[in-house]
């Protein structure tokens, strides 16, 4: 656990400039990493950031900090709801039993950057039933230093991604054109990340995705908060379109 006395307020942040797109896992020499502009592990989340609102599925505003005020939370920021990689990652998050989280007194939260109208369809698509919110203006993404644009970086094979680029991209495009609102359900250039926060504004862990393939393996994050190992080999009953 990170001693709250070690925390200090973060400085202002801006989004990283967009870089060239990554369309496959890349091996070889990684590009130099940009210096993060948001808070780091061991610091306190700035009160101004904790007060920024997120929206639930009904459009109700909730202060970001209220989500982890009373207990630790694993908070996963996704790229956008049409991203097939995000969809398949959230499908695996959906497999985490609520009893595992309750035993560890941990909350699991997904945050997207679309309109709140897309939350319910996304949950039906992925089978996800834990907490989920959106930050449509990406204000929290920016303050946390989440990247915009993709950095070429070495990535191993993800245990959570099942589709190849072609089939995954086709499904994403089909969902875009057949949905009630023809949009990308968020900024396609925005990257996500994973944090462990709370209680209060304590930051215990932060990972900012360098590109769409750079998410943290779920069990490695669960281990940090004392949640049991989850078997992700079984597939949930979800709709694939």
- Return the number of other C-beta atoms located less than 10 Å from residue 134's C-beta: 26
pLDDT of residue 233: 82
Whether 179 maps to a domain, the answer reads yes
What per-residue confidence (pLDDT) applies to 85?
Answer: 86
* Mean pLDDT, residues 204-227 taken together: 92
Residue 150 confidence class, pLDDT cut points 50, 70, 90: confident
Residue 137 falls in which region: left (phi positive, over 0), alpha (psi -120 to 50) or beta: alpha
Residue 129 falls inside a structural domain: yes
Query: Whole domain around residue 122: which residue ranges?
Result: 47-150+159-222
CATH of the domain at 141: 3.40.30.10
Cis peptide before 199 (omega within 30 of 0): yes
The answer to whether position 178 is within a domain reads yes
Task: Mark 205-220 as b/e (b = at least 16 C-beta within 10 Å).
Answer: bbbbbbbbbbbbebbe
Q: What value does the mean pLDDT take over residues 203-221?
A: 91
Q: Is the pLDDT of residue 174 over 60?
A: no
| Res 37: pLDDT | 59
pLDDT in tens, 69-81: 999 999 999 987 8
Tally of CB atoms within 10 A around 115 = 16
Q: What is the pLDDT of residues 24-34, one digit of tens each?
A: 333 333 343 34
Number of domains the chain is built from? 1
Beta strands in the chain (DSSP E): 53-55, 61-63, 72-77, 106-112, 131-134, 193-197, 203-208
C-alpha separations of 133 from 11, 13, 90, 171 in Å: 25, 22, 13, 23
Give every CB contact of residue 234 below 8 A, 6+ residues apart in sequence. Answer: 95
Residue 191, domain member (yes or no)? yes
Considering the domain boundaries, does residue 52 fall inside one?
Answer: yes
Residue 230 lies in a domain: no
pTM of the complete model: 0.74
């Amino acid at each position: 656990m990170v001693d709250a006395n070690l925390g200090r307020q973060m400085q202002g942040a801006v989004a990283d400039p967009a870089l060239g797109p990554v369309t496959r896992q890349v091996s070889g020499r990684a590009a130099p990493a940009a210096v993060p502009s948001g808070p780091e592990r061991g610091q306190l989340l700035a009160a101004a950031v904790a007060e920024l609102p997120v929206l639930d599925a009904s459009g109700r505003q909730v202060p970001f900090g209220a989500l982890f005020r009373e207990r630790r939370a694993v908070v996963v920021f996704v790229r956008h709801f049409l991203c097939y990689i995000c969809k398949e990652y959230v499908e695996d998050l959906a497999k985490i039993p609520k009893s595992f989280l309750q035993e560890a007194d941990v909350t699991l939260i997904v945050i997207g950057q679309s309109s709140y109208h897309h939350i319910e369809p996304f949950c039906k698509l992925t089978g996800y039933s834990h907490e989920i919110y959106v930050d449509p203006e990406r204000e929290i993404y920016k303050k946390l230093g989440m990247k915009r644009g993709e950095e070429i970086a070495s990535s191993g094979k993800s245990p959570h991604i099942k589709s190849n680029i072609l089939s995954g991209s086709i499904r994403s495009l089909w969902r875009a054109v057949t949905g009630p609102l023809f949009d990308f359900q968020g900024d396609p250039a925005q990257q996500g990340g994973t944090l462990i926060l709370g209680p209060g504004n304590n930051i215990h862990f932060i990972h900012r995705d360098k590109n769409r393939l750079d998410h943290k393996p779920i069990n490695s994050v669960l281990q940090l908060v004392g949640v049991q190992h989850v078997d992700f080999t079984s597939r949930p009953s979800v709709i694939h379109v």
